[in-house]
Amino acid sequence: MTRLFSAFGESKAQAPKRWLVAFSFLLAALFLWLALRNLDWGVFFATLRNVRYGYLPLIFLWSSATFFVRAWRLRVLLGAELPLLNVFWANMAGYLGNNLLPARAGELVRAAYLGKRNPISASYALAAGLVERLMDMLALVILGAAALALNGVLSPTFQNALKSVSVLGGVGLLILFTLPRFEAPLTNWLVKIPVNDSLKEKALGFFRQFNSGLRALNHAPRVAQFILLTALIWFLDASANVFMAYILHLHWTLSQSFVLLAALGLSSAIPSTPGYVGVYQFAAVTALAPFGVSQADALAFIVISQIFGYLIVGAWGALALWRFNKDA
């Protein structure tokens, strides 16, 4: 990965700060303690012993197909006729980076890979990745809120609040799609803000990069394709969770799976350790408790999911890095 960071031209100022790394580990330790306290270890290990391990290869194929769909969606967002396999390898290198490095440094790995192997800049790839991330977060807010409201496990007041959140998420998506049309007036407004020149220059640079990532969605057919691929990705992920639950002798509905995906997706925005250890455990226990899923079963599910996720991403990601170093 060193070559990838060199390709990105990363300086010490761009690297994850030491205080952020330390904070990530402290936060993960706190979440892990909250997830494990009062755990019935007997039930936890019993659930692990009863896993239908023979079905796990199907999860490998299922997840690999989902990663290809994600690469397809990123290719649409980049707005360039890039080879799909190039984008797939870049994605997998980035996911591996997120599993091995703190503070989501895998985003830099992916951007560097894309910039080195395609006729686009790493900065543009990073901006597009940020847009993709925000789109996913808003989609998960909408899906999670709708799933919680439909399940009826919360009070009517809270359900109404969640419906409002989903509407706000939809408004947020609409704003993101239309923001590039207002780049000029917003740039003029930023220029007039009474702050020091250095801070203003950073704000303008970030805004321009962010807008360059959004500009790929200026065309209606591309927007429609992006939305359809996003819906397909989250449907595949939710279905995979239902199947994984079946492998653990648990019985979940698709809407419960969407709630879990929303919790995991939103928790990944927190500065975290490599692989989201601690953060994901707490998110799974908290999100599944209202559906009657025990702490032990929720932890067994997320542990198996994470281990198998590491294996899948590790296999494809290692191959991506090997290809990068071989062709360098």
Residue 4: pLDDT band with limits 50, 70, 90: low
pTM over the 0.95 mark:
no
Query: Whole-angstrom Cα distance, residue 274 to residue 259?
Result: 23
Here the tokens at position 233 are 């990705």
Reply yes or no on whether the pLDDT at 1 is more than 80: no
CA 326 to chain centroid: 28
- Nearest C-alpha neighbor of 307 from the set 283, 259, 275, 279: 275
Average pLDDT over residues 292-308: 93
**E runs forming strands in the chain:** none
Termini Cα distance of the chain: 12
- In the chain, what percentage of residues exceed pLDDT 70? 85
pLDDT tens, residue by residue, 221-248: 888 898 899 999 999 999 999 999 999 9
Among 266, 326, 263, 324, smallest CA distance to 6 is for 324
The average confidence (pLDDT) of the chain is: 82
The pLDDT tens digits for 65-77 are 999 999 999 999 8
Question: What proportion of the chain, given as a percentage, has pLDDT over 90?
Answer: 32
Q: Rounded to whole angstroms, what are the CA distances from 226 to 170, 218, 236, 244?
A: 15, 12, 15, 27
Please write the tens of the pLDDT for every residue from 180-199. 778 788 888 878 888 777 78
Q: Higher pLDDT residue, 192 or 176?
A: 192
The answer to whether 122 and 95 have CB atoms below 8 angstroms apart is no
